[in-house]
Amino acid sequence: MAATTSSYSITMRLHTAPDHGIVGAVATAISQAGGIVTAIDVAESSHERLVVDVTCSASDAEHASDLERAVDQVGDVEVYKVSDRTFLLHIGGKIEVTSKVPLRNRDDLSMAYTPGVGRVSRALADNPEDVPRLTVKGNSVAVVTDGSAVLGLGNIGPGAALPVMEGKAALFKRFAGIDAWPICLASQDTDEIVRAVEMIAPGFGGINLEDIAAPRCFEIERRLRESLDIPVFHDDQHGTAIVVLAALTNALRVVRKELASVRVVVSGGGAAGTAIVTLLLAAGVTDVVVVDRAGALSADDEQLSPVHRQLAEATNPRRVRGDLPTVLADADVFIGVSAPGVLKAEWIQDMASDAVVFALANPDPEVDPAEADKYAAVVASGRSDYPNQINNVLAFPGVFRGLLDARASEVTIDMLLRAAEAIALVVKDDELNPNFIIPTVFHPDVPKAVAAAIRGDG
């Protein structure tokens, strides 16, 4: 059975006979059904009955239903109500707007709003360069999506994408003190998206593009970077690339190999794969082969799309052809940003000694990390229930903190390289081992180190 997770956590309200021993029977039933009890609270006790709230974690929605049925079969127990704790957390949304200034009386109002605010607006009309200093623009980011490539859910639309963008905004605030705003656009037309972002840009210090499908995301980012005077950062591309490079830097420290000498296979030539390859090449990797559904991308393949041709021309110097197991032979590193189950664990045996495997497809990776660990020296994934989680949260809060602090107008490759190095160096030599190549997202030094690196003073 798959590991339990708090994202499938439920609370069951039970009506039971007035016997506290039943609580133990309930806990045993949940355990035998593969669940983990995290809390038991007696909400009401009388001579007639007990009202008990039992909170437990399941592995998925079907497993949560199995746990409910297991408890309902315990004698003298009625499952009165079941609450999904993840849905409860989202009721009413996860973010809100609060005022930074007091509004207690007419004196406060006259300065925060009319007539005093008019003086500030007049000053900004005369001196536009002061807008970031005297408004929220200096500490705000627009998190923009069209809902076309949300997590592993695909094209689910802007409304369904809103909880994800809210979560992103909450992470900006929690890890970097940045006010971020979910902008979910009701269009998947490139021209309309570009124009919409251009029109809202005056109110923001940066644009974070999120969950926009390739290849449309490439053109949107390129055009916005050309037209705007604030930084534009596509997190699915560059945030992922930063953290992958940081993790790979430390993984190679573990196995005592150098970036310039390793052979890397990247499974997936979409937005994330393209950005990862670009940053790896900039960092000094010389031998990268990208594999998609049709096999290895090679510049001598006349059937490639324009996007894949451009990627092939920058990679695969040996002109390797073939499917994933063929290309993987003697490779030092596998990086997966593609689809579940595309890598069989036994194929890792054909890789070079002390192989490094990053299986980053979410929520189900290219290979079960536990199986990959039998053959590889270092294994990482996008999951929080295994060691070495590759998580964009390590990058984007600090990146934007640094960009806003520096009043930067663009994002450069050098910034991305410095950010990756900063994350890697948070893991000290005495901490580094195969199961700890990347710091936790809650490490307090990460956003500060990344921000300093982006500013160029780290």
Residue 250, pLDDT above cutoff 60 = yes
Chain centroid to CA 57: 22
Same domain, residue pair 58 and 118? no
Token pair of 195, please? Answer: 């124009």
Residue 399 lies in a domain: yes
Point out the domain boundary residue: 31, 63, 90: 90
Same domain, residue pair 316 and 425? yes
Residue 324 lies in a domain: yes
Same domain, residue pair 253 and 398? yes
% of the chain surpassing 70 pLDDT = 99
Spatial distance between the Cα atoms of 119 and 111, rounded to a whole number of angstroms? 9
The one catalytic residue in 137, 168, 257, 448 is 168
Please report which helix (H) or strand (E) contains residue 313, including its range. helix 306-313
Residue 1, pLDDT above cutoff 80 = no
For the ranges 1-10, 168-177, 263-272, which has the lowest average pLDDT?
1-10
Residue 58, pLDDT above cutoff 90 = yes
pLDDT of residue 51: 94
Same domain, residue pair 121 and 167? no
Binning pLDDT at 50, 70 and 90, where does residue 215 land?
A: confident
Query: Position of tokens 């070079």?
Result: 352
Same domain, residue pair 362 and 259? yes
- Average pLDDT, stretch 47-58? 93
- Average pLDDT, stretch 286-298? 92
pLDDT of residue 404: 96
Same domain, residue pair 432 and 390? yes
- Asked if residues 229 and 403 have their Cβ atoms less than 8 Å apart, the reply is no
CATH of the domain at 387: 3.40.50.720
Please report which helix (H) or strand (E) contains residue 335, including its range. strand 333-336
Residue 199, pLDDT above cutoff 90 = yes
pLDDT of residue 288: 96
Residue 28 lies in a domain: yes
Beta-carbon contacts of 266 under 8 Å, excluding residues fewer than 6 positions away, are: 273, 276, 277, 288, 289, 290, 291, 335, 336, 337
- Average pLDDT, stretch 281-309? 89
The one catalytic residue in 80, 81, 113, 374 is 113
Specify whether 113 is catalytic.
yes
Please report which helix (H) or strand (E) contains residue 289, including its range. strand 287-292
CATH of the domain at 85: 3.30.70.260
Same domain, residue pair 318 and 370? yes
% of the chain surpassing 90 pLDDT = 85
Residue 100 lies in a domain: no
Distances (CA, A) of 47 to 13, 41, 73, 231: 18, 17, 22, 65
Same domain, residue pair 213 and 249? no
- Asked if residues 458 and 420 have their Cβ atoms less than 8 Å apart, the reply is no
Token pair of 432, please? Answer: 């580094």
CATH of the domain at 158: 3.40.50.10380
> Looking at per-residue confidence, does 7 or 63 come out higher?
63
Same domain, residue pair 317 and 206? no
pTM of the model: 0.89
Residue 72, pLDDT above cutoff 90 = yes
Alpha helices in 228-302 (DSSP H): 240-255, 271-283
Residue 299 lies in a domain: yes
Residue 385, pLDDT above cutoff 90 = no
Same domain, residue pair 178 and 148? yes
pLDDT of residue 56: 95
Query: Position of tokens 């009043």?
Result: 407
Spatial distance between the Cα atoms of 55 and 10, rounded to a whole number of angstroms? 6
Total count of domains within the chain: 4
Decide: helix, strand or coil at residue 420: helix
Gyration radius from the chain CA atoms = 25
- Candidates 451, 425, 454; CA nearest to 438 is 425
pLDDT of residue 172: 97
- Asked if residues 378 and 254 have their Cβ atoms less than 8 Å apart, the reply is yes
Residue 408, pLDDT above cutoff 70 = yes
Spatial distance between the Cα atoms of 413 and 75, rounded to a whole number of angstroms? 64
Cross-strand partners of 318 = none
Residue 101 lies in a domain: no
Q: What is the pLDDT of residues 329-384, one digit of tens each?
A: 999 999 999 989 999 999 999 999 999 999 998 878 999 999 999 999 999 998 87
Decide: helix, strand or coil at residue 342: coil
- Average pLDDT, stretch 202-213? 96
Chain centroid to CA 260: 28
Same domain, residue pair 176 and 247? no
- Average pLDDT, stretch 432-457? 95
Chain centroid to CA 338: 15
Amino acid residing at 161: A
Spatial distance between the Cα atoms of 356 and 425, rounded to a whole number of angstroms? 19
- Average pLDDT, stretch 186-192? 97
pLDDT of residue 458: 53
Specify whether 375 is catalytic.
no
Q: What is the pLDDT of residues 109-119, one digit of tens each?
A: 999 999 999 99
Residue 387 sits in which domain range?
A: 237-458
Please report which helix (H) or strand (E) contains residue 292, including its range. strand 287-292
- Asked if residues 200 and 135 have their Cβ atoms less than 8 Å apart, the reply is no
User: Residue 432, exposed/middle/buried by CB under 10 A (0-12, 13-18, 19+)?
Assistant: middle
Same domain, residue pair 112 and 183? no
Return mean pLDDT, the chain: 94
pLDDT of residue 301: 81
- Candidates 425, 424, 335, 341; CA nearest to 380 is 335
